Structure 1
Amino acid sequence: MAKVSIDLNMKRVTNDNFVEKAKKLEPKLLEKQVKPIKIVSIGDDGKVEPRADIGELDRISLKKGDSLVLDFGDHQVGYVSLKLKSVGSPQDAPAYLRLKFGEVPKEIKENSEEYNGWISRGWIQEEYIHVDVLPAWLHLPRRYAFRFLEIYAVDTSVKFQVVVEEVVCRAVSAVDMENIEPFSASDPVLRQMDKVSLRTLQNCMQSVFEDGPKRDRRLWLGDLRLQALANYATFQENELVKRCMYLFAGLTREDGAIGACLFTEPEYLVDDTFMFDYSLLFLSALKEYYEATNDKETVEELWPSAYRQIELSRMCFDERNVVSEEAGDSCFVDWKEGLNKQASAQAIYIYVLKDAIAMANAFGQEKLAAKLEEERKRCVSAALDYFWDEKQGVFVSGEKRQISYASQVWMILAGVKAGEEARMLLDRIVELKPEMSMVTPYMNHHFVEALNLCGEKEKAIDYMKYYWGGMLLQGADTFWELYNPDNPQESPYGSSAVNSHCHAWSCTPSYLLRKLTNEE
């Protein structure tokens, strides 16, 4: 887990004007009725096999110990209702059912009693329900993220059985896939990648840009920035981005620090988690919003909140213009266990300074832009002096001079190395294959951006086919929170049972593909 800053005694400040503007931008969710398309069996290895035609559903009776699994054909986010009846003798006891929802087949086979991860068991989508009187419609109050639903009869009685006559999901999202022009490509892998990316983004677009509709169902800043980029290239639901930006700026710590994530229920509330990189990237997200919308009024209003993140982050630098290791520890960057993030933190600060300079120039603040440019040069010089290892030809991080993909990628995105030097650096790190590899789609997205920045468009597309295409080969119909090609079941939580298999930061192929093919 990332060593983020958690302030349990923080004082929160609310900008009521910003929050009220955000409330007025809340979308009315679109609804669609979705029914299962198949009855299937799932093996212990997660393999899905057809069991019966969906038209036979109301002819299958469940006695104690029986079960059936319904396949909805694609990843759904919504509210489920079941129409149930009894057959046999009159119902002489409650029907006792277990309902288990799975984004992927493996979740259906997981035994929740064996779960011992550090994140809450409450995220496992499993319900035990008594139904006293049949027939009945059972309307489940929770919202689920799933493709598969297992209905298991824990107990009935020897006299009657349960029949599932009908199952309906009221799927919800802020956007409709039918309004999007599919990505045009001769390569079927790229077309499928775009389709799955769009579905991932759609199912994460709810009343805010959620990080995952299964878990955590919150607004995380790092996810929002990547979702927004994908949205600008596809759905263009820009008012939802605007709503989220106002929420982040309107719910802060007392010193103006923007939190890593927000809660929207039961009230709007900033969490007590703060990340050096996420707070800074609010400014980059604001710049990208301006480039996409030309909404000068909103950007000018939110600019002081964005610039405040630079002022706060500046306190983490020493007299050499080198960021502290503690600031690196409070970065996300990637889930990779043991990753030293000091060099990445330095690079991300420089990256954001570049965006701040562009914003200051765009709004006629030439003196501020010049001041920030001088600071950027000092930080670049410090990065080269402190983090560049001339002998090895790579950036290193921390006291142990760790080599990682993340350090090289962020230094390239920040412009510390550029042009042919940057291209050669990427080639070198790929050849070195350091132990500190990349495991999240979030980090892999930035690797592809670095390839593109170096003019390596073909390598960028080939890498996307390797990484996101690898999830497609695993059967993904939405892209995952975490994917390590060398260990597809890897989890930062102690068990993949609580991994999110529809996750915001993995949606960017829809953006990257359009960017890579549209740019000259």
Structure 2
Amino acid sequence: MMDMSIRPDWEASWIWGSGTESPRNEWRCFRRCFVAPTNAEQAVVRLTADSRYVLFVNGARVGRGPVRSWPFELAYDEYAIGHLLRPGAENVIAVLVIHYGVSTFQYLRGRGGLLLQLDIPGFSGPLLATDDSWLTAVHRGHDPRTSRISCQLGFTESVDARAWDSGWNGPRYDDSGWEPATVIGAVGMKPWTRLVERGIPHLTEEPVYPARVEQLASVQPIPWNAVIDLRNLLVPESADHANNVEFSGYVATVVRLDEAAVFTIGIVDDGRIPCRVSIDGRWLEGGDYAEIESRRHAAVELQAGEHLLLLDVTGRSHGHGFHLGFDCDVSFDVYSPVPGQAGSVPFCAAGPFDHVEIIDHRPVRSLDRSHPDYLRMQDVSSADELMHFSAWIRTVDPQLVHPDDVFALSVWKKAETRHSVPAAMQHAVIAGADPAVIPVYAGRDTELVIDFGRELSGYIAFELDAAEGTIVDGYGLEYMKNGWMQHTYQLDNTFRYVCREGRQSYESYVRRGLRYLVLTIRGAARPVKLYELKLLQSNYPVADTGRFRSSDPLLSDIWKISRDTTRICMEDTFVDCPAYEQAYWVGDARNEALVNYYAFGAREIVERCLKLVPGSSFQTPLYADQVPSGWSSVIPNWTFFWVGACLEYYRYDGNSAFVADIWPHVKLTLDKYLSLLNDNGLFENEGWNLLDWAPFEQPEAGIVTPQNMFLVKALRDAAELGAIAGFGDEADLFVREAGKLRKAIDDHLWDSERAAYVDCIHADGQLSATISMQTQIVASLCGIAEGERNRLVERYIASPPPAFVQVGSPFMSFFYYEALAAIGRFDLLLADMRRNYGFMIASGATSCWEMYPWSGFSDDPRILTRSHCHAWSAGPVYFLGAHILGVQGLTPGWTKVRIAPQPCGLEWAEGSVPLPHEGRIDVAWRLTGEGELELRVEAPAHVELATVAPEGYGMKVERVTVGD
């Protein structure tokens, strides 16, 4: 693994509580009181935990962590806390540990544990260390039954303030009912065999207040709902990984009506589980369902009495919750068909009759859907008949069903009435104003939609006064227009807070991304007074060092939303988006790193991201596409982009020690890729061969042309890295392999009749029916085509043929812009940017979208994209800085920089580009006459500048030197 510094002086022990080693969704609290000495000003605490922690000193929140990391290289954090201690008096250190108990896209399941040590310089040994003198208790106010936020993330939160004293983390708290912590092992124990420093600064927490109350409504909720974890229910061992699982099985419940009525069953889902429903033995058919956005509703006439609902949940699940709701105008009960279980979970499960884990997109085998008992159970019409299959019936762990599904309540309402927003209601978004009084409507709940004005990512916090038992439900979303909300059916972005009596405050422990927050007040005995609402914006600490403005205000706006998108998606790693996933996708991060260089100049986060990737070698030597993750998944292009990103980082930072460290890992994976070349010398792969969301042929099995082309580039980039690291012979081998692969592509993947590179050769030997711009763009970028073929490909790039599949995402546009820049067509680059990103601006975007609306991902014209904030789309910052301002590093560490502006019809442009270690370069140019350009450059004295006039222009240069 990587050579990271290790602190050898740990004397603390790992501790946990009694009970389960790896409990699901447990919030566990730890406390230790102590008297601080008089010289405690320099006190430093170090700690880490599995899975996440929140640290408090004398009731003050100090920090959150740890940063995502592999369990065998677990990061720890360090905080100076001397200013929070009271010398000579009793102090308390308290830690909330949130243990997931399931693997996610950020975390591999380990076991519950806390490690903490408090040191004061000059002391012989620690002042305080975790051991059995610490006290611990499960946080009784947290409901452990909450659902997964998404398959990528942990759990939603539901906190009952009546059940837990918010002062538990302070010194004056009665902890006599807590148990002593259990020592579970010393530093170095499994699974945390190695501890490493985090290597990056702590993230920000900046209070951001909303812009306005968008709307007010009185709403009537549906009477019954629940969310079920089908994946862990039917395949319990799937908690140990984050791979897709296929299963065959049923969930059953009994509904009893007091009188005959229309009963509505709602699958509040987007069809990931193609659920079939049987009522008393009659299976509902397609015509029985009504599609309402992504929800399926079936309204059926039911007689008074008991009815068996059997849900065939056979399908594939990655870990999302299964949301189910019932509506009826008469009273009804829902309970389990299993005798004696009526007062507990209202479901039972049958199966699985078969299940299959999908590892790296390849199931071990096909799911068997023909088990005789699975088929016979389809004829069951009553609870008594169901019990004939008792061998298959399993009771449901209460932790796998949450009966208060805030998501279902938020997106499916029985009735809704909009009201005008009183002027005083806007006090809800104004810090320090009189409180906003939220009205109570008879027989209804009160719903506020609050607009923060832009996409954010962090922790919701509020202060209010309410009656005991008042429920505050929160639901975050990214987009709405004219009252219509784009609901997040792949994301349970919700929370619940149950109030104690009086004035109180709450700060969420779960990170979430959103622009709009839907707050619903339920069961209020009196109006709620909302004193404050804010979001603690949390991101990697960067300043707005990079800047860009021009005579075209649209380009200035595009640059700004691209910069803001990147900042929001900089956490402890780069992440794809703040809402749906918060995952570090390796290929996305290559583009994000380049944007970051021009916007912020942050280096440590890039190095940290690059060094995390080889940790996935225990999953696959091809390296995983998102890390650290429990999902064993490979996108070969993402690994190839990682290789290029390592070289680009060296060119920016100039750190040859990094290259020496990373080179063995680059070589390991590319050697493995070379071993997968077929008899024709082409890379042939079965897996997720992704490049773009557009509908061109990139099959899971076969020879995918862009993938082979990017492998050529990766081999060339690796050769350069190898030469820098001092391994010339191995580097030369990669150069030769790149040449052989380039020739094989030219020999086998060029279609002379269609005069273009084909998109793929399918596993059966058939050439792709599609010809795409994606493949021609990559051919140009990777230097595949030569001679007349190259000239033809360049013509396609300058003038895309309508018959070719077009670019389908801003991510692919990044490569398109690279290809346009390489052939000097900056005018076309800006025209495409204005058209595509200008559409986002015109649609009210404050951050860059994941997709283009015309890529065909949705049939609903109101849905413009999935994620409304996606950093893989933030390329304009890079291209406007590198080409319109014209700032490009020529040497590693940017000791020499070229300034080559491109006017492209603009009258002027100005801005700043950060330098990698200190300072920045300020550039301003202006057209002063026909074919004349005036350039001003301000840069540190140690930077050598090379200025290049745009073709056809004379240029007058003013250099301003900063420093000696």
The match for 1:463 among 832, 849, 859 is: 832
User: For the residues of structure 1 that align with 2:677 and 2:216, how far apart are their CA atoms?
Assistant: 54
Q: In the alignment, what sits opposite 1:302? A: 662
- Contact kept? 1:221, 1:261, Cα under 8 Å: yes
Could you tell me how far apart the structure 2 residues matched to 1:228 and 1:20 are? 28
Contact 1:15 1:251 in 2 (8 A): no
Deviation sequence 1:250-306 (CA, Å, 0-9, x none): 34226633211113xxxxx56311121112222111101100101100111111101
- Determine if contact 1:108/1:150 at 8 Å carries over to the other structure: no
Larger radius of gyration: 2
Indicate how the Cα distance of structure 1 residues 347 and 310 shifts in structure 2: closer, same or farther if over 3 A, else same.
same
Alignment of 1:199-348 (within 5 A): 199-253=564-618, 256-263=621-628, 269=629, 271-324=631-684, 326-327=685-686, 329-337=687-695, 339-340=697-698, 342-348=704-710
Q: Residues 105-504 of structure 1 correspond to what in structure 2 (within 5 A)?
A: 105=480, 109-110=484-485, 121=490, 123-157=491-525, 160-177=526-543, 179-253=544-618, 256-263=621-628, 269=629, 271-324=631-684, 326-327=685-686, 329-337=687-695, 339-340=697-698, 342-396=704-758, 397-398=760-761, 399-401=766-768, 402-417=770-785, 420-427=791-798, 430-434=800-804, 436-485=805-854, 499-504=866-871
For 1:391 and 1:431, locate their aligned partners in 2 and report how far apart those are by CA, in whole Å: 15
Instruction: For 1:85 and 1:306, locate their aligned partners in 2 and report how far apart those are by CA, in whole Å.
Output: 57
More helix as a share of residues:
1
Report if the CA contact (8 A) 1:189-1:465 is conserved: yes
Q: Deviations over 1:332-384 (max 9, x none)?
A: 21123563261111111112122123323444544334332322222122111
- Distance 1:503-1:388 versus aligned 2 partners, 3 A rule: same
Structure 2 gap segments, 5+ residues each: 1-69, 76-192, 218-292, 294-419, 429-434, 889-899, 901-964
| TM-score under structure 2 length normalisation | 0.46
Residues 208 and 42 of structure 1: is their aligned pair in 2 closer, same or farther, counting only changes over 3 Å? farther
Letter in 1 for 2:682: V
AA at the equivalent of 1:347: M
SS in 2 for 1:98: strand
Q: Counterpart of 1:336 in structure 2: which amino acid?
A: A
* Deviation string, structure 1 residues 145-172 (Cα, Å, up to 9, x no partner): 1222122223324xx1222221122111
Match of 2:473 in 1: 98
Letter in 2 for 1:437: Q
Match of 1:70 among 431, 438, 450: 450
When structure 1 is superposed on structure 2, of 370-379 and 21-30 the one drifting more is 21-30
- Return the offset for 1:224: 1.3
Higher strand share: 2
Q: Name 2:463's counterpart in structure 1.
A: 83
- Give yes or no for the alignment of 1:25 onto 2:390: no
Shift of 1:241: 0.8
Partner of 1:6: none
Worse overlay, 370-379 or 208-217? 370-379
* Aligned-partner Cα distance in 2 for 1:144–1:134: 27
- What TM-score, normalized by structure 1, do the two folds share? 0.83
What is the CA–CA distance in structure 1 between the aligned matches of 2:541 and 2:859, rounded to whole Å? Answer: 31
Q: How far apart, in 2, do the equivalents of 1:368 and 1:388 lie?
A: 30
Q: Distance in 1 between matches of 2:802 and 2:528?
A: 59
How far residue 187 of structure 1 moved from its aligned partner, in angstroms, is: 1.0
* 8 Å contact from structure 2 (residues 689, 707) kept in 1: yes
Task: Confirm or deny: 8 A CA contact 2:565 2:874 kept in the other structure.
Answer: yes
- Residue number in structure 1 paired with 2:247: none
Partner residue, 1:40: 214
How far apart, CA to CA, are the structure 2 residues paired with 1:53 and 1:344? 58
Residues in 2 aligned to 1:133 and 1:105: alpha-carbon distance in whole angstroms: 34
**For residues 475-505 of structure 1, what are the alpha-carbon distances to aligned partners after superposition, in whole Å with 9 as ceiling and x for unaligned?**
11111222234668579xxx96993221121
Change (3 A) 1:300 1:101: same
Against the structure 1 CA distance between its residues 15 and 130, is the aligned structure 2 distance closer, same or farther, given a 3 Å change threshold?
A: closer
Name the amino acid aligned to 1:136: Q
Cα deviation, residue 223, structure 1: 1.3
State the one-letter code of the partner of 1:77.
S
Shift of 1:111: 8.3
Does the residue aligned with 1:340 lie in a helix, a strand or coil? coil
Q: How many residues align?
A: 478
RMSD across aligned positions (CA): 3.2
Give a deviation string over 1:203-237, Cα, whole Å, max 9, x none: 11111112222121121101111111111122111
User: Does 1:506 pair with 2:873?
Assistant: yes
Decide which moves more: 128-137 or 418-427. 418-427
Q: Tell which deviates more after alignment, 357-366 or 467-476.
A: 357-366
Deviation of 1:96 after TM superposition, in Å, equals: 2.2
In structure 2, the CA distance between the partners of 1:445 and 1:153, relative to structure 1 (3 Å rule), is same
Q: Which structure is richer in relative contact order (CA contacts within 8 A, separation 6 or more)?
A: 1
| Residues in 2 aligned to 1:28 and 1:35: alpha-carbon distance in whole angstroms | 22
Mean Cα deviation higher: 164-173 or 284-293 = 164-173
Q: Does the CA-based 8 Å contact 1:14-1:252 persist in structure 2?
A: no
Cα deviation, residue 425, structure 1: 2.8
